[in-house]
């Protein structure tokens, strides 16, 4: 019984983003004009259905998502800063591109969104739609993750 209580206490302080996440889908990113490259589409198909595990000292999963020794930082970003500022860049090129509306089409609602910056060489950041749903951008696709 004591071991069980200690185990619960140990997990109580884990960050919300720790755990196993399944890549449930990939959609063409809104900044892509035309269709994505065939290699990007093949990558999307190979990643969909795979899992990513986010832990204190590493991120494991498909090779492109892996990271040893991440430097986690959670920040709140407005819509224009999601996906490394891609929506803001879209708006600079086309004043009618509204970052809030672009984010809403991807499931983001509100004014700011928690983002997990990993500090990894692959430069993947995870943007949280809610506590069980995150998204990241990679090679002309936006991927949705669901916490398992």
Rounded-to-integer distance, Cα 135 and Cα 124, Å: 10
For the chain, what's the residue count?
Answer: 148
DSSP labels, 63-75: GGG-EES---EEE
User: Which residues, at least 6 apart from 75, have a Cβ–Cβ distance to it below 8 Å?
Assistant: 114, 115, 117
Would you say residue 9 lies in a domain?
Answer: no
Rounded-to-integer distance, Cα 64 and Cα 66, Å: 6
Would you say residue 8 lies in a domain?
Answer: no
pLDDT at 22 over 80: yes
Q: Could you list the residue range(s) of the whole structural domain that residue 21 is in? A: 15-147
Rounded-to-integer distance, Cα 141 and Cα 86, Å: 12
Would you say residue 84 lies in a domain?
Answer: yes
β 133-138/19-28 pair status: unpaired
User: Which residues, at least 6 apart from 28, have a Cβ–Cβ distance to it below 8 Å?
Assistant: 35, 36, 140, 141, 142
Residue-wise pLDDT for 23-59, tens only, equals 999 999 999 999 999 999 999 999 999 999 999 999 9
pTM of the model: 0.89
Residue-wise pLDDT for 107-132, tens only, equals 999 999 999 999 999 999 999 999 99
Would you say residue 2 lies in a domain?
Answer: no
Q: Are 108 and 99 in contact (CB under 8 A)?
A: no
User: Which residues, at least 6 apart from 49, have a Cβ–Cβ distance to it below 8 Å?
Assistant: 22, 23, 24
Number of domains in the chain: 1
The predicted pLDDT at position 14 comes to 87
The predicted pLDDT at position 12 comes to 56
User: Which residues, at least 6 apart from 9, have a Cβ–Cβ distance to it below 8 Å?
Assistant: none
Would you say residue 97 lies in a domain?
Answer: yes
Rounded-to-integer distance, Cα 128 and Cα 17, Å: 9
Would you say residue 3 lies in a domain?
Answer: no
Rounded-to-integer distance, Cα 46 and Cα 106, Å: 21
The predicted pLDDT at position 9 comes to 42
Would you say residue 4 lies in a domain?
Answer: no
Would you say residue 143 lies in a domain?
Answer: yes
């Amino acid at each position: 019984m004591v071991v069980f209580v200690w185990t619960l206490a140990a997990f109580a302080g884990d960050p919300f983003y720790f755990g196993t996440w399944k890549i449930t889908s990939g959609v063409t990113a809104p900044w892509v004009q035309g269709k994505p490259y065939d290699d990007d589409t093949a990558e999307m198909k190979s990643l969909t259905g795979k899992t990513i595990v986010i832990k204190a000292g590493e991120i494991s999963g498909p090779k492109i998502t892996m990271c040893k020794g991440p430097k986690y930082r959670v920040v709140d970003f407005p819509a224009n800063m999601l996906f490394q500022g891609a929506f803001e860049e879209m708006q600079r090129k086309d004043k009618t591109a509204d970052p809030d509306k672009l984010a809403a089409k991807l499931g983001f609602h509100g004014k700011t969104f928690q983002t997990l910056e990993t500090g990894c060489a692959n430069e993947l950041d995870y943007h949280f739609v809610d506590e069980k749903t995150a998204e990241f951008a990679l090679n002309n696709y936006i991927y949705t993750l669901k916490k398992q």
